[in-house]
Structure 1
Amino acid sequence: MKHLESVSAIVVFVVLFCVFRVGGKTVTSIDDDDGGGQPIRVDLDLSRVVRVVSERFLSVAIDASLMSEEKFMNLLNSPKLRTLAKALIPAFLRFGGTRQDFMKFKPKGRYFQARDNNVCEKLELPPSLEFKLKHEWVLQSKTLLQEEVERKYKKTKFSEYAVDLLYAFANCSGLDLIFGLNALLRTPENSWDSTNAELLLEYCGSRQYVMSWELGNEPNSYEKKAGIRVDGYQLGQDFFHLHQILQKSKLYHSTGLYGPDVSQPHDHHKDLLPGFLEAGAEAITACTWHHYYVNGRDTSLEDFLNPVVLDTLETKINEVLETVKSVSPGKKVWLGETSSAYGGGAVGLSDTFAAGFMWLDKLGLGAKLGLDVVIRQVLIGSGTYHLVDDNLDPLPDYWLSLLYKKLVGQEVMKAAVHTNFVTKKQVRVYLHCTNRKSTQYKQGAVTLFALNLNKGQVTITLPSHIANSTIEAFVLQAPEPGEQSLHSRSVKLNGEVLKMVDDRTLPALQGSKLPPGEPLKLPGFSFAFYVVTDAQAPVCK
């Protein structure tokens, strides 16, 4: 009997030696690899929340190129597109991009009331017209891409009808519209000419269209695009001017104003953001900037899977956060436009399964470091970084975004990877409270999401106090094994290819319940969400 007690004591000692707490963290050791993949240990700190992001953290954009011809705005009346957009709420819908600075509002007296009770049903696009517009949009996209390559942007005009269609889409989908105004309308003194914007504001106000505003897109590239140079101080003055106009409006006096939508700071443009903030920070609700990892015209699959490339985002985020903190402490910071590759995206990559590694890591890192909102370029529009293809079918990054919305909450906690292998940077983990609006999970549940940039499977061991919890796994993989399948425009969830049931119905995104205590097996070249339903994290209750 004493012998058995001695053995029990030794076992308890070993367990206590291998599991201990440091500063609220639970740290565990793991067994040797059992052949199920390289072993990974994760530290999860469930004791405190390090960040809280907006409930609209993952938001989307419609590129202003869709308004290059007003008839294409009718695509927003597609029941399929509305179904896909509605599933992503709550979210902002940013309407903007390069072409917003080449567009003028030209009233024609043709409009409809986008706030009517039955407008959503009245506007639904007939299948025959939808088919015709989708076919014509493919050809239009090629023309727009050529403009992008040549940096020759045709000036266009849009009427009340285009505004009505845009607002109706946002309203019918439940998205919060942000409209980007043209900042390249300048006076002889090179200040912003607000005449056209005031005309648009007056119209939108008369229709009671509730929305927020931006002014200009990537002002650090105005010289290249239009031969106009605007420094940070003048830009701040322009925003302050718009702010004063909004203050006089009954409808828009307390509306959001976001800017300056600079591209990521580098070289001689680094002084643009500080200069803007010094002159115009009080005018804006949040500071916006843009980020892309690579040039879409000379990138590769290796870049999309390279942890060194993914890590460049952290440097850029910290640069912007530090600038904003030093000039305008407390101002929220948004990624106002972002995707994988600039220049319209990378053909054969930005709209495929491979793009999910950049997208999910950006969501995880952005929330962890302190961004409040991340706006994905684009839901629909020209280029190849869209969430919805030319047939209005969802692409892999749409399904990834939908799962994120379903499972990931606003509260961010610390998570870290520990391994003896050289793959540490290639396995990336993030931890949030589970979305509290998801009624199927208990209070205190947490969602761990992980990326495996390795070719081979890894085995993740959770801290002991939650290792025996019920876990639901949502594992996303390319349809077929091997690197070539990473170029696929389809995605599997727990082994089943995801697709819409019909134009108005999305599939139920079901997790797979894992046996308690079983390590998480994350396949090579995959990413996954793990809902720890019994975590009982006090900060998530």
Structure 2
Amino acid sequence: MRQFLVGLREWKAMRSICRNLSNPILLNAVKAFSPLKLRLGGSLQDKIIYGTGDPKPQCTPFIKSTSEMFGFTQGCLPMSRWDELNEFFQKAGAVIIFGLNALNGRVTLSDGSLGGPWNYSNAAALIRYTVNKGYAIHGWELGNELSGSGVGARIGADQYAADVINLRSIINEIYQGLPDKPLVLAPGGFLDTNWFTEIISRTKPNSLDVITHHIYNLGPGVDQHLTEKILDPSYLDGEAGTFRDLQRILSSAGTSTIAWVGEAGGAYNSGHHLVTDSFVFSFWYLDQLGMASTYDTKTYCRQSFIGGNYGLLNTTTFRPNPDYYRPASHPTSFCCGFTANSIVY
């Protein structure tokens, strides 16, 4: 369900990918969809510190630890890796959405939620470094699956809205005088109607450009009945309520904020081999794309481009799985996810 869960299973594969960004198959697979939106994020994004030197953190990688939130220690993104990734993105003609560390500086409250304002100093340093280097970022997304009851962690809508407003202020300041400003996206979580209604209301009129939500409507990847679900139109139609509710929230609020599916992999926990990486999965995928368009979703971000059993590319050979060929002619803007742990290698 969360991209860090993908990471648990894909750790070796993702390390291989990021050590070999010059692989021509990987590069050409991204180029083929140019301009392909790539979302870099997932639960571990919220535990990343950026090695900008402002302030100077200890830049160490994620280490697996069952005692830590999300199963890993804090990790660091070195600017040398950020430079390499941006060079790859430029060569591939990719459009980048980057997920920021929304848990930085939080404290745990008595109700189990995380409170206190987001400490944005480290994220602001990364954004400033990115602008100074001339790297093009299409959007900065605040947090991953922290909305509503959250997945592993949660933040109240009032505090989250305040943090989004701060992110907008940071972007306005750092990008001042530049012709194009990136989008502000949030919260990258599962739809909770009350929570989403409140954050939309509190971020009007122009702090939040895109509200992003996640979908895994087939259930866990270990389910032995995934194929039956995928081929059952009545089951697939059940997800229409999510799209309908979000469309109603935005329409009622009279906001300019638009809706994206920020992450959708069908079956969580990396999908199911020989189902979500095979031809039959296209029936789920095409149904989702059509449903998203029906309810005015502007971008649909597939989890994932590579990794797990639901990736568009095979994790070993980088060669396309059947679904890779499906979205090219569809009117909904196409997007793919990269797991957060992949960016630190």
Give the TM interval when normalised to the shorter protein. Answer: 0.7 to 0.9
Larger Rg: 1
Aligned residue among 177, 183, 188 for 2:102: 183
Deviation at 1:96, TM superposition (A): 0.9
Match of 2:79 in 1: 160
Aligned residue among 328, 344, 347 for 2:270: 344
Match of 1:133 in 2: none
User: As a proportion of its length, which structure holds more strand?
Assistant: 1
Q: What TM-score, normalized to structure 1?
A: 0.52
Runs of 4+ aligned residues of structure 1 deviating over 4 Å after TM superposition are 61-72, 221-224, 408-411
Match of 1:271 in 2: 194
Paired AA for residue 300 in structure 2:
V
Aligned residue among 36, 39, 42 for 1:91: 36
Percent identity for Structure 1 against Structure 2 = 26
1:385 matched to 2:310: yes
**Cα pair 1:102 1:155 within 8 Å, conserved:** yes
1:285 matched to 2:212: no
Q: 1:410 to 1:224 in 2, by over 3 A?
A: closer
The one-character-per-residue Cα deviations of 1:47-80 (angstroms, maximum 9, x if unpaired) are xxxxxxxxxxxxxx99995899877523332111
Match of 2:140 in 1: 213
Bigger relative contact order, structure 1 or 2 (CA pairs below 8 A, ≥6 apart): 2
Paired AA for residue 189 in structure 2:
V
The one-character-per-residue Cα deviations of 1:249-284 (angstroms, maximum 9, x if unpaired) are 13597221111212133xxxx321111111124212
Task: Write the distance in 2 (CA, Å) between the matches of 1:386 and 1:154.
Answer: 26
Unaligned runs of 5+ in 1: 1-60, 110-142, 412-541
The one-character-per-residue Cα deviations of 1:175-226 (angstroms, maximum 9, x if unpaired) are 1111110101124561111011012112111211110210101113775524
Deviation at 1:297, TM superposition (A): 2.8
**Cα pair 2:263 2:301 within 8 Å, conserved:** yes
Q: 1:219 to 1:252 in 2, by over 3 A?
A: farther
Q: 1:311 to 1:223 in 2, by over 3 A?
A: closer
Cα root mean square deviation, aligned: 3.0
Task: Write the distance in 2 (CA, Å) between the matches of 1:91 and 1:75.
Answer: 20
Q: Secondary structure, in 3 states, of the residue corresponding to 2:203?
A: helix
The one-character-per-residue Cα deviations of 1:311-355 (angstroms, maximum 9, x if unpaired) are 012111001111121124343211111121122223432111111
Task: Write the distance in 1 (CA, Å) between the matches of 2:49 and 2:6.
Answer: 12
Paired AA for residue 385 in structure 1:
Y
Q: 1:399 to 1:63 in 2, by over 3 A?
A: farther
Task: Write the distance in 1 (CA, Å) between the matches of 2:263 and 2:142.
Answer: 14
Moved more, 326-335 or 169-178: 326-335
User: What is the number of residues matched between the two proteins?
Assistant: 304
Task: Write the distance in 2 (CA, Å) between the matches of 1:213 and 1:252.
Answer: 17
Moved more, 182-191 or 389-398: 182-191
Match of 1:262 in 2: 189
Q: What TM-score, normalized to structure 2?
A: 0.79
Q: Secondary structure, in 3 states, of the residue corresponding to 1:384?
A: helix
Match of 1:233 in 2: 158
Match of 1:443 in 2: none
